[in-house]
Amino acid sequence: MKYVDEYRDGQLAREIAGRIRNEADPERNYHLMEFCGGHTHAIFRYGIPDLLPGNVKMIHGPGCPVCVLPISRLDAAIELAVTHKVILCSYGDMMRVPGSRKRSLLKARAEGADVRMVYSCTDALKIARDNPDREVVFFAIGFETTTPPTALVIRQARKLGLTNFSVFCNHVLTPAAISNILESPEVRELGVLPLDGFIGPAHVSTVIGSQPYEYFAEEYQKPVVIAGFEPLDVLQAILMLIRQLNEGRAEVENEFSRAVTEVGNEQAKQIVADTFELRRSFEWRGLGTVPYSALRIKAEYAGFDAEKRFAVKYKSAGENKACECGAILRGVKSPRDCSLFGGPCTPENPLGSCMVSSEGACAAYYSYGRHQESVFASDAENGAVTDVVPDATNIAKERSL
């Protein structure tokens, strides 16, 4: 397939991996964080850790909107469906995330609440039009990638004169999370995180552009390379970060230039700015309260704000004490450090958000990481890599053991 297969070429992957091994200084360690969960899955799906020398270490960040949503916000969404009897429309990943008392949207639906899975916010708008006698709430989550569609659907609802449609807004901002990781006292107290550079998110950057990351390069002297999700994208980004670190540079570079520009999508950014405004603070799972890190609906569109229409109340809710999702989202621990991983907690029986989400780090480790030793016939030291793509037959054999 054009424009995809070219970025999965095994021979090119071996060549880039060879450059990484040749250019990585054996006298130092490189700690690189991929912020986006899509990158985490690509890294394990294609066996990239096996292509890297031992002193190049990948750290998995909080780049999954399902994973970082705190339990209190999920509980509030459940209460909208249960107590206020609304039709609650949600993306599929949120349906199975455990809230307090292990209650999820899926369980609430089984108990009689009208919770419906949708593929887009326009599906929720259609449900509102088809059910004029029912209140319909769209449970909006996501980073900058999914925010413009939510803004558009709010504006469309006003244009249509819908009085039974509103949005429970939980959109969060990527740059604020990166700042928190780099400077938050709470994060430092919970674990020291060596961090030399970032692989910048792909989809988010198509909207906001590369410009917002310049602050991190200048203020914190941490290089950022924006990368696509294909294996060659990720390997090239790692090579670019290593070169910056070796040369003492801290710049923003754009490996994903086929989709990302410096300024991003100006029209999408303007629609968001016209519809939303910054919250003074917002709670993130794993990061705590982060100032100016989320959006709320502007007063102009208050009639479509579910938090105002239903006077949503938030109650503090503790995490499962044995679950390490918080530390994993900060990059302080890996899924294998969690005593629940692969035992009580699996994709079929998730106990934490990192295992539920299709972009969660635990789901990536479970699907690919824990099987790597027998799946990949590669040797990072001599470059004898059989292929970039894992052998599905071997994965199936491993899972049956």
User: Rounded mean pLDDT of 209-220?
Assistant: 93
- Burial code of 296-333, b = ≥16 C-beta within 10 A, e = fewer? bbeeebebbbbbebbebeeeeeebbeebbbbbbbbbbb
Number of Cβ atoms within 10 Å of the Cβ of 71: 23
User: Rounded mean pLDDT of 142-167?
Assistant: 97
User: Rounded mean pLDDT of 107-114?
Assistant: 96
- Contact, 50 vs 376, CB < 8 A? yes
Name the pTM for this structure. 0.86
Counting residues of the chain whose pLDDT is more than 90, the rounded percentage is 60
Counting residues of the chain whose pLDDT is more than 70, the rounded percentage is 88
User: Rounded mean pLDDT of 292-306?
Assistant: 97
- Contact, 159 vs 301, CB < 8 A? no
Q: What is the pLDDT of residue 395?
A: 32
User: Rounded mean pLDDT of 211-236?
Assistant: 94
User: Rounded mean pLDDT of 128-152?
Assistant: 97
Residue 390 has pLDDT above 60, yes or no: no
User: Rounded mean pLDDT of 105-114?
Assistant: 96
Strand, coil or helix: 201: coil
Could you tell me the domains of the chain? 1-401 (3.40.50.11740)
256 or 182, higher pLDDT: 256
Q: What is the pLDDT of residue 78?
A: 95
Q: What is the pLDDT of residues 252-291, one digit of tens each?
A: 999 999 999 999 999 999 999 999 999 999 998 878 888 9
Q: What is the pLDDT of residues 6-49, one digit of tens each?
A: 888 999 999 999 999 999 999 999 999 998 989 998 998 899 99
Measured CA to CA, the distance from residue 70 to residue 55 in angstroms comes to 34
User: Rounded mean pLDDT of 313-317?
Assistant: 75
User: Rounded mean pLDDT of 113-118?
Assistant: 98
User: Rounded mean pLDDT of 178-200?
Assistant: 71
Q: How confident is the model at residue 185 (pLDDT cuts 50, 70, 90)?
A: low
Q: How confident is the model at residue 332 (pLDDT cuts 50, 70, 90)?
A: confident
